[in-house]
Amino acid sequence: MRTARFAMLSRCSGLSLRCASTASPIVEELRAALVKKNAEDMVLIKDLKKNHDGDAIGASTVGAAYGGMRGITGLVYEPSLLDPVEGIRFRGLSIPECQEKLPKGTTGQEPLPEAMLWLLLTGEVPTAEQAKALNAELHRRADKEVISRAQKTVAALPKGTHPMTEFSAGVLALQTDSKFAQAYSDGVANKSNYWEYALEDSLNLISRSPHVAAMIYNRLRTGKVELAAESRPELDWASNFANMMGFQSEEFWDCMRLYLSIHVDHEGGNVSAHTTTLVASALSDPYLSFSAGLNGLAGPLHGLANQEVLKYLFGMQELCRADKVDFKDEATAEKALTKYTWNLLNSGRVVPGYGHAVLRKTDPRYTCQRDFCMRHFPDDELFQLVNTIYKIMPGILTEHGKTKNPYPNVDAHSGVLLQHYGMTEQVYYTVLFGVSRQIGVLSGVIWDRLQGRPLERPKSITTEALAKRFLKK
């Protein structure tokens, strides 16, 4: 009886998955590209495991164990790799290379995040047609009934709830449609097809979450959890998201294409990527995993720094105004900003937007946002303040003597772009980061399932055990 039921479920589930894909040639193409890349990678993985299984790629130390595991290479994560000096590479491509090679939006200026999704998943730059078809597929998957579950969940949260809490809860409400969870519960998911369900869930999540995020933005503006404008199928993923939030300027759409492309991924060890893949290693579905990752992104040392940067910038402006600092006089402005920054540091706080756990130079994500400002609004007052701070901060932080990297990270610049185009609610900024970040971390989850990665379970140790071993106490 049980066997018959299992066989029936297998047939149904296999059928529904295949039907969904047959109906969408672009998903078939995507799946074929993943299978091909996996076959190539598997040759390498087999060789590495067979001939180098015991070779060290990094050593753990007492310092690393107490120091947040800095410097330990203990994970394989395929979509991107971070070089401390050069910055991030997405499947081998630097940010300027992505800007040059990836298919672009209608203005022909900035890359499309859906093209970045294809790149991270397959390791190949998509054609313009592939990016367009993938976007159409994402539009097709925006199931209104499922989205309305998230809408109701967010609306049930008290007004004034942080948008990141709302977004994480909204993603959990979307989980009610998880194909992975359903297939696992039905007994039809197994190690060889987990990745297919993970891909299905991830595409659905990437399709639906911008709707939820746009409703959350509108709640900040109007109090109502609803879209400011209906989704428009002719628009690409980033411009449609901006449209649903109520922004109709082509220039802002380009800004969003860039923003949502460069925040996608930062290799596997950062809090949002590591949390997502760690939770997924327990075979929690992509929704549960990404919601966990979002909760990590919501911390001020990680993604929330983009909100904190604005507080810092406005605080600086206020102090300057109170002291009647003339910004046109560069030397006076620099002197005043230096004084206020030292006050902040001496009160034991960090300067948001500066420093990094891995990077040791200016973040190229900072540089490309700076270039965007130079192209579009070089005279913007806030942009100029950020530039002045960029001139003085590395010197201050070096003199302060604590941080290993006195240069700016991505979060030091993103708020300036958003403020310029009228998205002034800085409490929302980390949600934008999250909408982008899902593209990278869900690609990571799919690849973990494709490669059959096991449950993640590093060993921990107590101070007592360390003291016995090294202090003989």
| Catalytic residue positions, numbered | 302, 356, 411
Contact set for ligand CMX, span 347-366 (CB under 6 A): 350-357
Up-side HSE of residue 3: CA atoms within 13 Å toward CB? Answer: 0
Task: List Cα–Cα distances, 194 to 103, 143, 189, in angstroms.
Answer: 30, 23, 6
Contact set for ligand CMX, span 292-321 (CB under 6 A): 301-303, 305
Max Cα distance, the chain (Å)? 84
Closest to ligand CMX by CB, 404 or 469: 404
153 binds ligand CMX (CB under 6 A): no
Q: How far is the CB of 407 from ligand CMX (least distance, A)?
A: 10
| C-alpha to C-alpha distance for 386 and 353, rounded to whole angstroms | 11
| C-alpha to C-alpha distance for 220 and 430, rounded to whole angstroms | 14
Residue spans of beta strands (DSSP E) within 56-101: 80-83, 87-90
Contact set for ligand CMX, span 373-402 (CB under 6 A): 402
User: Dihedral angle at the C-alpha atoms of 343, 344, 348, 351, nearest 10 degrees?
Assistant: -140
Closest to ligand CMX by CB, 95 or 357: 357
Closest CA to 330 of 406, 383, 385: 385
Return the range that interacts with ligand CMX (CB under 6 A); candidates 9-17, 346-354, 440-448, 455-463. 346-354
Return the range that interacts with ligand CMX (CB under 6 A); candidates 77-85, 173-181, 407-415, 454-462. 407-415
Closest to ligand CMX by CB, 188 or 382: 382
| CA dihedral for 389, 408, 94, 31, sign (positive or negative) | negative
Closest CA to 261 of 108, 368, 373: 368
Return the range that interacts with ligand CMX (CB under 6 A); candidates 118-126, 180-188, 279-287, 406-414. 406-414
Contact set for ligand CMX, span 316-345 (CB under 6 A): 345
Return the range that interacts with ligand CMX (CB under 6 A); candidates 146-154, 286-294, 372-380, 405-413. 405-413
Contact set for ligand CMX, span 252-291 (CB under 6 A): 270
| C-alpha to C-alpha distance for 467 and 473, rounded to whole angstroms | 6
Number of residues this chain uses to bind ligand CMX (CB under 6 A): 21
Bridge partners, 80 (sequence order): 90
Closest to ligand CMX by CB, 151 or 306: 306
> What does the binding site for ligand CMX look like in residue numbers (CB under 6 A)?
270, 301-303, 305, 345, 350-357, 402-405, 409-411
